[in-house]
């Protein structure tokens, strides 16, 4: 199944979502999600253990917290996509990612446990998006009071994690 890139009227172009979508270089969101499994896993496995809990500045996340954040966001975005595909009329709530990370104990967990969660979630996300018809992918719903489609969310997911990998490469290595 091919999920082509969304048009600008399918998501909030005034938010980081636009740059997330533009970061993805493939022509199919499903392929991007599948390819990113290896990219993310290889990146984190190659990260020296002393960097797992490193912060480049006070208040910044550790790489382990970044991976936990990526997983949390994927869960939320996949849920939003399912709701929108099912024609949900309510605006789906926003969330404060900083509060979510602060409320966790991510730094007490192993990289291995996060990679297992990541891969399981990604496989579930891919199956979810493969289950949608083109009509369901095109449905417009509200997430955090912004119009969005399930198709846009399919592209935001891999773009969001690539965004964070780029930051990790620039500021942590």
Average pLDDT over all residues of the chain? 96
Residues 34 and 36: their CA atoms lie apart, in Å, by 5
Q: Give tens-digit pLDDT for 127-159.
A: 999 999 999 999 999 999 999 999 999 999 999
pTM value surpassing 0.75: yes
- CB of 71 within 8 A of CB of 121? yes
In this prediction, residue 173 carries a pLDDT of 85
Structural domains for the chain: 19-172 (1.20.120.450)
- Nearest Cα neighbor of 33 from 173, 161, 132, 136 is 161
Q: Give tens-digit pLDDT for 47-82.
A: 999 999 999 999 999 999 999 999 999 999 999 999
- Nearest Cα neighbor of 65 from 42, 47, 92, 87 is 47
In this prediction, residue 1 carries a pLDDT of 87
Mean pLDDT in residue range 33-57: 96
Give the single-character DSSP code of 27.
Answer: S
- CB of 158 within 8 A of CB of 33? yes
Mean pLDDT in residue range 117-122: 98
Residues 138 and 153: their CA atoms lie apart, in Å, by 11
């Amino acid at each position: 199944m091919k999920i082509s890139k969304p048009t600008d009227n399918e998501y909030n172009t005034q938010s980081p979502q636009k740059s997330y979508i533009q970061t993805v270089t493939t022509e199919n969101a499903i392929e991007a999600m599948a390819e990113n499994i290896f990219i993310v896993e290889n990146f984190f496995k190659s990260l020296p253990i002393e960097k797992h809990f490193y912060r480049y500045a006070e208040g910044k996340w550790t790489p382990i917290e970044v991976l936990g954040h990526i997983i949390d966001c994927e869960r939320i975005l996949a849920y939003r996509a399912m709701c929108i595909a099912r024609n949900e009329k309510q605006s789906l709530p926003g969330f404060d990612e900083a509060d979510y990370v602060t409320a966790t104990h991510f730094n007490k967990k192993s990289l291995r446990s996060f990679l297992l969660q990541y891969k399981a979630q990604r496989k579930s996300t891919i199956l979810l998006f493969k289950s949608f018809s083109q009509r369901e992918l095109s449905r417009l719903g509200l997430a955090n009071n912004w119009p969005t489609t399930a198709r846009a969310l399919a592209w935001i997911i891999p773009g969001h994690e690539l965004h964070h990998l780029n930051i990790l490469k620039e500021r942590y290595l």
